Structure 1
Amino acid sequence: MIPRRPLSQFPIQKIKDDEIENAYHWFRTFISDQDWMKRKNDIETYLSTVVRTTSPFSEPISEGTRLVIQKDQIGWYLFLVHCYLFEPHKYEFHQGARVVPIFKRIGTDIKLVTQIEGIGKKMRDMFKKRKSEADAILFEVLTALLWTRNGWDVKIIEEGKGGKTPDFEVTKNSKKWQVECKRQMKTADYTYKETKKRQLMISQINQMLLHFNVVLDITFHVELVTLPDSYLFDLLKDIIPNVKAPGTIISNETIDIDLSFVDIISIKNHLKQYSVKNNSPQLIELIAKKEVDHSAFTSGFLGSFFYVGDGEANNLYISDIAKAYGVHCYCDCEQALNAKARDVKNQIFSAIGQFNPEYNSIIHIGMETFDGPEVEMLRTQKIINTMSSIDTRDNKLCWIFYHYFQSYSRSYEPWFFDETVSTATSFINPVLPIKKTFLILPEDEVTIESASHWDKKLP
């Protein structure tokens, strides 16, 4: 039985952030206390069953489990922010890093948000009718706020009345624009398939890696989905037991593998002084001995746990680790990179279909950049090719704003957020209608450089 420590004995400070609290309390006005408690309890029940503590894993590795609630996405997001503010011992770092910055921006300009015509119905629909569409609706809210911050009057257009319509219209003096927002799904289906394949391959070598406290840094040069599940096991079963020193153990046209060892003594010393949460950036950094992208890192360990506070919802902490392993994977295969580099052609042409062709129109497209600079370079080329195929003779599409986002978390900071904005014009109306273009990051806190955020080294 896993022991439990009361919150009164746990050294964790609640975060005080007025802007995030402003947004949280505003969001809560669109859901009754009774409904919120039910949805919160449902989420906590799910979390208490999906995360396992059976040796040596804290989650079912073979299935590539994602700690996210899809059916009630907005409930999940509100839960993340609730934990960030009021129950930090339950906070989920990696998912929260995507959501907390959005609340921060909305809360910073809460007076402007609440003045947007039609915003109340949009929010009520998200909480009641469109619970699984939070990413798309929050993107619309952020875009409407962007235009409001630039001094435009924004009117959200109610859906389903009078045929196809844009998301909202903006006016300033005698000028008027139609605006449509399109939010791309967080991750390509190919990435999910690749992740599941990677986890299946690692599940066949995890016991061996655990026994020898091994960390592998793997670069695949072919698509993972073309390899058998036993590929890594067949390759490494006679090598791992005989390796005594860190270094490159395999390098060929299919795969490169570097090996190092987990510093168990260092981890034990750390755990004597600090409490480390399961599935946290701190745990990843202790095992990997560096900061890594959690989405491509798989780890496991043998150790001792304890719960903090009541329940079993993402409040599991580690008191000791006896053995551990980690695997960091990357695939530089051209076919894999191309599959992850999703174009926005469908979003653009779908948006054009929403407009009245007689009025000037603008499209905002939101994308997340979790797959690395090589993928984004390919995606940029696809977008350029798509732009050249747009015929504006039968519409008045004047501008497209491309918003790129990336979030991550570190042991010393619960969230970081990067944003890059690029624009394209058809030259029908070549004067950029807004000066501020960042949806989430405050412009006065951003250092503008001639580079995209995915080309820069992460902190």
Structure 2
Amino acid sequence: MIPRIPLSQFPINPVKDTDIENAYNWFRSFISEKDWLNRKNEIEKYLSTVVRSSTPFSEPISEGTLLVIQKDQIGWYLYLVHTYLFEPHKYEYHQGARVVPIFKRIGMDIGLVVKIEGINKKMRDMFKKRTSEADAILFEVLTALLWVRNGWNVKTIEEGKGVKTPDFEVVKGSEKWQVECKRQMKTADYTYRETKKRQIMISQISKLLLQYNILLDIKFHVELVSLPDSYLFDLLKEIIPTTKTPGKIISNGSVDIEISFVDIDLVQNHLKQYLVKNNSPQFLELIAQKEVDHAAFTSGFLGNFYYVGDGEANNLYINEIAKAYGVHCYCDCENALNAKARDVRSQINSAISQFNPNANSIIHIGMETFDGPEVEMARTEKIVNTMSKINPESNKLCWIFYHYFQSYTRSYMDWYFDETVSTATSFINPVLPIKKTFLIIPEDEVLIENASHWNKELP
């Protein structure tokens, strides 16, 4: 039985951020206290039922839990912010880093947001009818706020039955634009398939890695889905038991593998002094001995746990370990990179179909950049090609704003958020209608000049 310590012994002070609290309270105003408690309970029931950590080999790594609640996406996002503010012992760092900055931005200008015509209905619809569409609707709210911040009057347009319409209309003096927002899904289907394949392969060597406290850095040069499930096991089963020093152990046309070792004493000494949450950035960094991309890093360990506070909803902490392993994987295969580099052709065509063809129009497209600079370079090529095929004579599309986002978390910082904006014009109206273009990052905090955030080193 896993022991438990009371919250009174949990030495982390709740976050105090007026902007995030203002946004949280505004979001909460659209659902009743009873509804919120029911949704919160359902989320915690899911977390306590599905998330298992006490027996590392009770199920394959490939069946690992995805800490995302898709059906009630907005409830999950609200829960992340709630725990960030009020129950930090339950907070999920990696998912929260995507969401908290959005609440921060909305809260910074909550006085402007609440005055947007039609915004309340959009929010009510998100909480009651479109609960799985939080990413898309929050992107619309941020875009509407952007135009208000640039001095435009914004009116959301209610969808008519059987009639496609843009998301909102913006007016300043005699100028008027129709605006449509399109938000790509967070991750490409190909990435999910690649991740599952990777986890299956690592699952077959996990006991071997754990036995010797192994760290692997793997770079595949072919598509993972083209390899047998036993590929890593067949390569490494004889090498790992006899390898005693760090270095490259495999190099061929399919893969390069470097090996090192988890410093168990270092981890154990840290655990004696500090509370460390399971799967937190702090714990992953202790195992890897550096900052890691959690989406590409798989780890496991044998040790002892304890719960903080009541319940079993993402409040599991570690007090000692005996064994541990970690695997970081990357694939530089051109086919894989190209498959992850999703075009925006469907978003543009869908947006154009929603416009009045006789009115000046603008599209905002939101994308997340978790797959690295090579993927973004390939995606840029696809976007340029798509842009060249748009017929300006069939519509009055004047501008497209491409918003690229990336979030991450570190042991010393709850969240970082990067944003890059690029624009394209048909030259029908070549004067940029807004000076401020960043949806989330305040312009005075932008330090990147003439560069995209995915080309800089992560902190």
TM-score w.r.t. length of structure 2: 0.99
Q: Equivalent residue of 2:393, what SS? A: coil
Distance in 2 (alpha carbons) for counterparts of 1:64 and 1:457: 29
Deviation at 1:212, TM superposition (A): 0.1
State the match for 1:248 in structure 2: 248
Alignment gaps of 5+ in structure 2: none
State the match for 2:450 in structure 1: 450
State the match for 1:426 in structure 2: 426
Distance in 2 (alpha carbons) for counterparts of 1:247 and 1:160: 63
| Superposition pairs of residues 40-59 of structure 1, within 5 angstroms | 40-56=40-56
Q: Equivalent residue of 1:249, what SS? A: strand
Deviation at 1:394, TM superposition (A): 1.5
Q: Equivalent residue of 1:291, what SS? A: coil
Pairwise CA RMSD? 1.0
Deviation at 1:10, TM superposition (A): 1.2
Q: Equivalent residue of 2:52, what SS? A: coil
State the match for 2:69 in structure 1: 69
Q: Equivalent residue of 2:329, what SS? A: strand
State the match for 2:225 in structure 1: 225
Partners of 2:118 and 2:155 within 8 A in 1: yes
- Alignment deviations for residues 220-263 of structure 1 (CA, whole Å, 9 cap, x no partner): 00000011111100110000000010000000111000000000
Confirm or deny that 1:27 pairs with 2:27.
yes
State the match for 1:207 in structure 2: 207
Distance in 1 (alpha carbons) for counterparts of 2:59 and 2:87: 22
Distance in 1 (alpha carbons) for counterparts of 2:435 and 2:190: 36
| Superposition pairs of residues 9-158 of structure 1, within 5 angstroms | 9-56=9-56, 61-158=61-158
Deviation at 1:48, TM superposition (A): 0.5
- Alignment deviations for residues 142-193 of structure 1 (CA, whole Å, 9 cap, x no partner): 0000000000000000012571110000000000000000000000000000
Distance in 1 (alpha carbons) for counterparts of 2:58 and 2:91: 16
Deviation at 1:353, TM superposition (A): 0.4
Distance in 2 (alpha carbons) for counterparts of 1:417 and 1:314: 23
State the match for 2:181 in structure 1: 181
Deviation at 1:117, TM superposition (A): 0.2
Distance in 1 (alpha carbons) for counterparts of 2:25 and 2:379: 38
The residue identity in structure 1 corresponding to 2:87 is E
Deviation at 1:35, TM superposition (A): 0.4
The residue identity in structure 1 corresponding to 2:170 is V
The residue identity in structure 1 corresponding to 2:264 is I
Partners of 2:60 and 2:200 within 8 A in 1: no
Partners of 1:116 and 1:155 within 8 A in 2: yes
Partners of 1:59 and 1:65 within 8 A in 2: no
Distance 1:12 1:73, change over 3 A: same
Distance in 2 (alpha carbons) for counterparts of 1:48 and 1:350: 40
- Alignment deviations for residues 297-356 of structure 1 (CA, whole Å, 9 cap, x no partner): 000000000000000000000000110000000000000000000000000010000000
State the match for 2:403 in structure 1: 403
Moved more, 401-410 or 6-15: 6-15
Deviation at 1:445, TM superposition (A): 1.3
Distance in 2 (alpha carbons) for counterparts of 1:316 and 1:418: 29
Distance in 1 (alpha carbons) for counterparts of 2:133 and 2:240: 46
Distance 1:107 1:164, change over 3 A: same
Partners of 2:60 and 2:203 within 8 A in 1: no
- Alignment deviations for residues 103-158 of structure 1 (CA, whole Å, 9 cap, x no partner): 00000000000000000000000000000000000000000000000000000000
Confirm or deny that 1:347 pairs with 2:347.
yes
Distance in 2 (alpha carbons) for counterparts of 1:436 and 1:128: 32
TM-score w.r.t. length of structure 1: 0.99
Partners of 2:213 and 2:324 within 8 A in 1: yes
Deviation at 1:62, TM superposition (A): 1.6
| Superposition pairs of residues 313-328 of structure 1, within 5 angstroms | 313-328=313-328
State the match for 2:263 in structure 1: 263
Which runs of at least 4 in structure 1 moved beyond 6 Å after TM superposition? none
Figure out how many residues of one structure are paired with residues of the other and give that number.
Answer: 459
Partners of 1:209 and 1:325 within 8 A in 2: yes
State the match for 1:369 in structure 2: 369
Deviation at 1:53, TM superposition (A): 2.0
Distance 1:439 1:204, change over 3 A: same
Deviation at 1:448, TM superposition (A): 3.6
